[in-house]
Structure 1
Amino acid sequence: MAEERRAGDKRPETQVRIGQGPGTRREVLVKALWIGVWLIFLSSPIHDLAAGHHTTAATVAGTLGLTAFVVAYLTLVFRNMGKPFTPGVVASLLGVMAVLAPLLNFTLGEAWIGLFVYVSVACGATLPLRHAYWAIPATAVVMFLTERHNGGSGWDDTLLLVVLIGFAMVGVGQLVRTTIELRKARATVAHLAANEERLRLARDLHDLLGHSLSLITLKSELAGRMLPEHPDKAAQQVADIEQVSRQALVDVREAVTGYRRPRLAAELAGTQVALTAAGVIADVPAEPDLAGVPEESESALAWALREAVTNVVRHSGADRCLVQLTHRQTLDGPVLELSVEDNGSGGVGSAPGNGLTGLTERLEKAGGSLEAGRAKHGFRLVARVPTALSGDVGSGA
């Protein structure tokens, strides 16, 4: 999409935007020139007026009629290339042209037969398809009858031109409408992409800051309790707080740029530290077996572990937590299963929070799944992601 924008913005001064009204003076001139070229069919009526073949009154009336016809045509076609008129205004302007074309032909002669070309063009460019399909042949029929009235055979090149150019303008009008719809669709896609990116960023920030701030809060409270009697231990807690804060800042910066991919081994080590600091007896595997696990799956499990531990620390009130990593063979293929189980209350509320909702989306995007709910003695979260290997390799207690 970026390449399309660069290609489209390379020389904007030379381009005419299909389906949009002119936005600059240059675009106005380009579109006016494009429409003005087709006024060549007015050469015969103008020559007829200038040749003096009619009375003064007829010449004045013909000039006024031709002026009104051209104004209606240019107003209708030029405006309809950008912001179209309402159906009532379109019908009125077409009515003016449809009346003046045969009237001027009946009264002033065969030289004015070219006006029907503009009626056909206006019908094809401005009317809906179902109306244009009968309006263009009707224009040709009226032109045929007018030529017969003026003494001609009625069958000539102009009659064929009226039909062909009318339906050609139907195609052009359809192209304009399709272009407008595509432009709207592209704007909608861009809007949805922006919303998806905002959702991703919000999800990342929630996962990152929720864990880090919980750990900072716990260590701050611990340092506060140690400060009067054990200043050296309090200083160690403060140092840990500084380290966690710096790491959180780095994580947030990486999440904003979209490059952060957490590692499961690092999250397991951080889990041990966070649970121990919260006074929770932790049973955490030391070295995970990640053979055959794609990076996307590992990242999804790392986010799942972080969210689960954050919930244990902040909401559960547990004093024990068991973390297990197990390779399993399922009907859908080999998976790596992460299980986090505590003996706490399971948090508050019956509906899943933003963390679990975002975590479910992450796992589904990686082809995995999430189960979370009350267990026999507390709360249990199970996350599964597909792997390339089978077998059972269990870790934990």
Structure 2
Amino acid sequence: MTEDLEAADEARAERLMRMGEAPRNKSEAVRKLVWILPWLIFLGSPVSDLTGGHHTTGATVAGWAGFVSFTGIYLAVVFRNMGRPFRGPVVGILVAVLFVLAVVLSLTLGDSWLGLFVYVSVTCGATLPLRVAYWTIPATTVALILVGLRVGQETAWGLFIIVLLVGYSMSGVRQLVHTTVQLRKARATVAQLAANEERLRLARDLHDLLGHSLSLITLKSELAGRMLPGHPDKAAQQVADIEQVSRQALVDVREAVTGYRRPRLAAELAGAQVALTAAGVVAEVPAEPDLAGIPEETEAVLAWALREAVTNVVRHSGADRCTVEVLRRQTLDGPVLELAVEDNGSGGSGKEPGNGLTGLTERLEKAGGTLEAGRARHGYRLVARVPTATAADVVSGA
């Protein structure tokens, strides 16, 4: 469930970001155009007015020309603004043309044309800089009222709130799209910086581990080479030292790699969500557990416990629902971090704990923790607890 919600949020964010970019193909162009077309509902009144025979032939022809020009300019400006907008001066001129057409057509052809001011307001909010849109939108609204006093006061007041709010709404949508795009770029930058920092840390650690050892090996190799002809016994001692240094370097590298491979609980929780969902199990997994102040060794032990528990749920339990909880608790022995995994399955066919649970019990005992696993009220439940207080904390009385 959590994964589905996250996927839906990611899809919405992706669609929102794409609103502020040029269409990548014809399909996206059509979708963007379809998004614009419903807003043309206010053009129904001008069309009805022109087709109703309320004007002379000359006025009708001029009205159609103005109507087509207004609609074409509006669609061109708004549609282009979604990807590759016109330059600022061009946008300003086109918005001014829309404003003039709205005023002239409304004054000459009647109150059926006052709806054009809605599109002028939309264009101001969607295309003009915010500092300009903040005064052009109310200016458009004032123009609507003034023109409406001449041709149709009731219609003008009916459109007053629409013209004002739709312009500011488009400004808000525009800001939201811009903010979303910037946040996505910032997140990508942060991820890249984190990866670079991790590479630098690995490079520093390997340099610190191997730099001295390799230098010592090189020096002793040169000494052994010079001693070999006249002092083979001393050369043999240098070779023995080289072997000892290389073995220690190998141990150091293995310990470093083990540290890098130490599982993290947050990563295992995300992996558990994916694994359970893929197995058709409805999972409730915490996204961001409270791990502040938890030692890495403690976190790693619970990560191993979670991995083993999820493996058992997927492979042996036959469950269709699983709940994972990570909680801090205060016990008689001190504060502990508790991992609880409960499912509605059978827990497997074996009556004795398998090798995985046996090894997990031993791992937890080394960390001072405990493991409880067995039948629960509605299925099977595994609870792993590890102390959160380090040895130094216990000695100091923390």
CA contact (8 A) 1:124 1:166 kept: yes
> Superposed, which structure 2 residues align to 1:1-397 within 5 Å?
7=7, 15-17=15-17, 18-153=19-154, 155-231=156-232, 234=235, 237-238=238-239, 241=242, 248=249, 259=260, 388=393
* 8 Å contact from structure 1 (residues 106, 146) kept in 2: yes
Change in Cα spacing, 1:220 to 1:14, as seen in structure 2 (3 Å) is closer
Residue 13 to residue 127, structure 1, CA distance change in 2 (3 Å) = closer
Larger helix fraction of residues:
2
Cα distance change on mapping 1:233 and 1:53 into 2, 3 Å:
farther
8 A Cα contact 2:144 2:156, kept in partner: no
Q: How far apart, CA to CA, are the structure 2 residues paired with 1:101 and 1:133? A: 20
Check 1:4–1:176 CA distance in 2 against 1; reply closer, same or farther (3 A cut). Answer: farther
Q: Which runs of 5+ in 1 are unaligned?
A: 262-293, 297-386, 392-397
What SS is found at the alignment partner of 2:55? Answer: coil
Structure 2 distance, partners of 1:10, 1:94, is 35
TM-superposition CA deviations, 1:267-325 (whole Å, max 9, x none): xxxxxxxxxxxxxxxxxxxxxxxxxxx889xxxxxxxxxxxxxxxxxxxxxxxxxxxxx
SS across alignment from 1:228: coil
Aligned positions, number: 268
**Cα displacement string for residues 44-70 of structure 1 (whole angstroms, at most 9, x for unaligned residues):** 222223334334443333223222222
Q: Call closer, same or farther: CA 1:42–1:245 in 2, change over 3 Å.
A: farther
Q: Percent identity?
A: 64
Post-superposition offset of 1:21: 3.1
How far apart are the structure 2 equivalents of 1:246 and 1:221?
19
State the AA in 1 paired with 2:141.
A
Give the partner amino acid of 2:134. Answer: Y
Closer/same/farther in 2, CA of residues 260 and 234 from structure 1, 3 Å limit: farther
CA offset digits 1:204-263 (Å, max 9, x no partner): 2321331232122122112212322354664564566467557657866875796179xx
State the AA in 2 paired with 1:7. Answer: A
Q: TM-score, normalised by structure 1?
A: 0.56
**Structure 1 contact 145–154 (Cα < 8 Å) conserved:** no
Q: CA RMSD in A?
A: 3.8
Cα gap change, 1:21 to 1:214, in 2 (>3 Å): same
TM-score normalised to the size of structure 2?
A: 0.56
Contact 1:21/1:82 (CA < 8 Å) preserved in 2?
yes
Letter in 1 for 2:192: H
**Residues 146-182 of structure 1: per-residue CA shift (max 9 Å, x gap):** 2222254465322221112222222222222322332
CA positional deviation for 1:20? 3.1
Q: Deviations over 1:356-380 (max 9, x none)?
A: xxxxxxxxxxxxxxxxxxxxxxxxx
Superposed displacement of residue 10, structure 1: 7.5
Cα distance in 2 for partners of 1:187, 1:125 equals 27
Q: Go from structure 1 to structure 2 and tell me whether the alpha carbon gap of 1:253 and 1:129 turns closer, same or farther (over 3 Å shift).
A: farther
Structure 2 distance, partners of 1:258, 1:71, is: 64
Shift of 1:9: 9.7
Partner amino acid, structure 1, of 2:187: R
Distance 1:187 1:45, change over 3 A: same
Partner Cα separation in structure 2 for residue 256 and residue 32 of structure 1? 54
Q: Which letter maps to 2:92?
A: A
Alpha-carbon distance in 2 for matches of 1:26, 1:13: 19
Does structure 2 conserve the Cα–Cα contact (< 8 Å) formed by 1:226 and 1:233? yes
The answer on whether the counterparts of 1:201 and 1:255 sit within 8 Å (CA) in structure 2 is: no
Question: Is contact 1:19-1:81 (8 Å) kept?
Answer: yes
Structure ID, larger Rg: 1
SS in 2 for 1:156: helix
2:16–2:180 CA contact under 8 A, matched in 1? no
- Secondary structure at 2:188's aligned position in 1? helix
Q: Distance in 1 between matches of 2:219 and 2:140?
A: 84
Q: 1:173 to 1:9 in 2, by over 3 A?
A: closer
Aligned residue for 1:206, secondary structure, equals helix
Unaligned 5+ runs, structure 2: 263-294, 298-391
Q: Which amino acid aligns with 1:20?
A: E
Question: CA separation of 1:260/1:236 partners in 2, compared to 1, >3 Å: closer, same or farther?
Answer: farther
Distance 1:62 1:252, change over 3 A: farther
Change in 2 beyond 3 A, CA 1:134/1:238: same
Retained in 1: the 8 A contact 2:217–2:245? yes
